[in-house]
Amino acid sequence: MKTISKPKATLSKRKESILDILAETPEITIADLAGNLQVSVVTIRNDLAALEEDGMLVRGHGGAMPAFHPAVLQRIRTARDAKMEIARAAAAHVVDGDTIMIAAGTTTALIPRYLRGKRQVHIVTNNTLLLPYVRTNPQLIVTVVGGSFRPADESLTGPLTMEAMERFRVQRAFIGVDGIDAQQGVFANSVESGDFVRQMAQHANQTIVLADAAKFQNPGFVRILPFSDMDILITDATLPTSMQNVLTEHDVKLETVHTRRTSK
């Protein structure tokens, strides 16, 4: 078992409050935001700039609005420290000239953020959430497969997506999951997501699963893969011996990251 430890900054409570207010009242002005949160306009502007840089909102004249569906914003904010360290660990597996697939998800979307310094990496994805992280990196070649856009997932799914996936063969597939069960493997919350991820794994030489601790609390709805179809599991969870034994039995390598929360 490989253990990875990195320091991490968390999303501040004030920024979380800003996102909550904008989700409820997108037309609110910067001045009103400052008044509601009892800080200066300059502070709010700095917070908005930071949130925009993180791809979490879109700024306009005199105000701002969330960049994503409220459900996506909630998932982005949940266990963000752990997700960023898991994504960092996942990115460490990518080498120069690699071909990779990245599935939809808030953790997987962060992988390109940590690919700076890697050269000529070709990404195939249905994850629109990662686009802010690839725009400024000329060493990333990104193929977004077509399909029907799902705002609540920031993903592309459907027959066109599945058809497009048939054309690709990659070195590594990075998948996020909605649940893990010790007996049955990893799960998604929708049939479409499950079908897409299953096909990804079939077209990759190596399948890497990203799962924060919360994913071990609920099994999910649709089974994606058994453990026998996985190669690496990256998590922040402290797994019981029984789960570690299951992974060992199926030759799944376990990597555990640790986070240290700091204020921002």
Average pLDDT of the residues in 201-217: 94
Task: Name 152's Cβ contacts closer than 8 Å, sequence gap at least 6.
Answer: 69, 71, 72
| pLDDT of amino acid 11 | 55
Span 60-99, pLDDT tens digits: 665 676 666 666 667 766 788 899 999 999 999 999 999 9
Structure tokens at 109: 């979307």
- pLDDT of residue 39 exceeding 50, the answer is yes
Comparing 27-31, 100-104, 223-227, the range with the smallest average pLDDT is 27-31
| pLDDT of amino acid 6 | 39
Span 121-140, pLDDT tens digits: 999 999 998 987 898 899 99
Average pLDDT of the residues in 236-254: 94
| pLDDT of amino acid 19 | 81
- pLDDT of residue 194 exceeding 80, the answer is yes
Contact 233, 211 (CB under 8 A): yes
Domains of the chain: 11-67 (1.10.10.10), 79-262 (3.40.50.1360)
- pLDDT of residue 51 exceeding 90, the answer is no
Comparing 50-59, 60-69, 152-161, the range with the smallest average pLDDT is 60-69
Structure tokens at 162: 């599945």
| pLDDT of amino acid 263 | 38
**Rounded CA separation 257/236 (Å):** 5
Q: Which of the two residues, 58 and 170, has the higher pLDDT score?
A: 170
**Rounded CA separation 241/117 (Å):** 37
**Rounded CA separation 66/222 (Å):** 30
Span 56-67, pLDDT tens digits: 777 766 567 666
SS (H, E, C) 87-117: HHHHHCCCCCCCEEEECCCCCHHHHHHHCCC
Structure tokens at 129: 């959430």
